[in-house]
Amino acid sequence: MKKAMVWIVSLIVLIVMVGCNQSSNQTSSETQTGSSSQTTADSVEKVEITYWYAWGDKIQENNENLVKMFNESQDRIHVTAEYQGSYEDLHAKTQAGFAAGNAPEVTQNEIASVGIFANSGMTENLTPFVEKDGLDIEDFIPGLMGNSYVNDQLYALPYLRSTPILYLNKTLLEEVGLDPVGPKNWDEFKEYASALTTDGERVGMTMPVNIWFYEAFVAQSGGQMLSDDGTEAEFNSPAGVEPVEFWKELASEGIIKIPTGDEAGDTAKQDFANGRSGMIFSSTADLSYWLAMAEEQGFELTTSFMPANSTYGVPTGGANLVMTSGLESQKQEAAWEFIKWMTSTEQTVYASTYTGYLPSRMSAVNSDDMQSFYEEYPQFKVAVDQLEYARPRPMEDAYPEIAKIINDEITRAIIHDDVAPQDALDVAAEKANSLLK
C-alpha cells in the first residue's frame, strides 16, 4: 500500500512539473512571438528614408520644421533630414553617395543641375508617379517649371525657388530725394546709383560679379546665354556684351563697387547692411534675413523688380526636389509621398512665408494666408510679380564649368582697363563652345 501511495504521489508530481514546464515554455514562446510580431509589424509599417538639403539659418530651420511635421502627420514613413552645406557641397556629396551606394532617397538639385543628374542616371523619372496619382502639374507656376523637365520627362518638382530682386534702403532713398519705388530701367538705375554715392562714404551699389545677375542682365537686353539647342554660346552677342560694358562704366565712375575674390558676396552684404551702399541685388530667399537686418540697423527696406533694358528679365534659381534612382519599390513610394507632401499647397505657403522663397503653386499664391501675408509684407510679392519675365537657367552638363569661365572673363574685363568686354566674352565663348561640343 505504501509503495502504491508513493507511486501515485510521484506520478502526480511528475504531471504537475510537466504541466508547469509546458505552461512556462508556452508563455515564453508567446512572449517571444509577440515581440517578434510587433518588431516585424513596425519594420513593415515604418519605411526609413533620408533627405539631404542645402543652406543653413532660416532655410535650415524651414527644412527641419517641415520634415518634423511630415513625420508627425502619418505613421508609415520616417524621414531623416541632413544638412549638407552649399548646393555645390550637396551635389558633390550626392554624387559620391550614389557611387558608394548610400545616396539619400530624396535630395535637392540646384535647378541648373537637374539635367546633369537626370542624364547621368542618378535621379528617377517622376512622370509615372504623377500620372498614377493624377497630380495637378498645371497648378505649378509655369515660370518655375522650365528646369523640371529633361528630355520631355519630369525629373524634379519646384521646392525652394527664387529670382534675384532689387533691395533698396528706403530711408537713404528718401534722404537724397529718390522715389522709393525704385529704378524702372538701366538709365534710372544709373541715376539712383549716382544720387546715392557720396565721396569715400557710400556708393549706389556694391555688386560682385555673379553669373545669376549676369544672366538677368542678358535677359533684360533681349539675349540668351546659349543657343536654343544648347550647342553654342550666345552670351558674346551684343545683348551679352552690353551688361558688362554697363557695369564697367558705372564702376569707372565710382557709383558702384565691384569687389572680387571669395569674399565679394559678403562684402556686398556688409556694405548694404551698414549703409555703405544704398542698393543690392540679392535672392528673394534672402528677404526674411534682410527685413530682420534692416530693423536691427534702423532703416526701412523695400524691394522692386530688377531694372529693365529693352525688357524686364530674370533667371529663376533655387532648388527642386528629386528622387534618387535604383530604389526598392517600398522606398520609392515613400520618397514620392514625401516629395508630394513637401511641394503641396499648404507646405508651399509655409516655406514661402518662413523664408522668402517663391511659392511654387498658383493655389498657394491665391490662398487667403498668402494674400494676407502679402498685404502685411508687400516686399515678398515683388518676386512673384516678376515671374512674368522669368526664364529657366541652362541645364547643359557643361554649364557649371562654363559659368565659372564667364565669371572669370567678366572679372578680367572689369578690373583691367585695357580688356574690352567683347574680347573677354569672345574668349569665354570659345572655351564654352569647346565644352559644349
- Close Cβ partners of 268 (under 8 Å, ≥ 6 residues apart): 206, 207, 208, 259, 277, 280
pLDDT value for 405: 98
Comparing CA positions, the residue from 134, 158, 129 lying closest to residue 325 is 129
Please write the tens of the pLDDT for every residue from 144-164: 999 999 999 999 999 999 999
Cell numbers found for residue 39: 518588431
Strand, coil or helix: what is 164? strand
Of residues 136 and 9, more confidently modeled? 136
Contact 92, 60 (CB under 8 A): no
Q: How confident is the model at residue 103 (pLDDT cuts 50, 70, 90)?
A: very high
CATH number of 164-315+398-436: 3.40.190.10
What are the helix (H) ranges across 176-262?
186-196, 211-220, 238-252
pLDDT at 44: 59
Confidence of residue 356 (pLDDT cuts 50, 70, 90): confident
Each residue's pLDDT tens digit, 376-386:
999 999 999 99
In this structure, are residues 336 and 129 in contact, taking their beta carbons and an 8 Å threshold? Answer: yes
Per-chain mean pLDDT for the chain: 90
CB-CB contact of 144 with 89 (8 Å): no
Amino acid (one-letter) located at 257: K
Percent of the chain with pLDDT over 70: 90
Q: Assign 392 a pLDDT band (cuts: 50, 70, 90).
A: very high
213 touches 281 (CB < 8 A) = yes
Q: Which cell numbers in the block locate residue 182? A: 525704385
Residue (of 84, 146, 71) closest to 337 by Cα position: 71
Instruction: Select 46-162+317-389's CATH number: 3.40.50.2300, 3.30.70.260, 3.40.190.10, 3.30.450.20.
Output: 3.40.190.10
Within the chain, which residue ranges are assigned CATH 3.40.190.10? 46-162+317-389, 164-315+398-436
E strands, 183-325, where?
Answer: 203-206, 256-257, 277-283, 301-304, 314-315, 317-323
Q: How far apart are CA 211 and CA 280, in angstroms?
A: 15
Q: Checking DSSP bridges between strand 149-150 and strand 106-110, what pairing results, if any?
A: unpaired
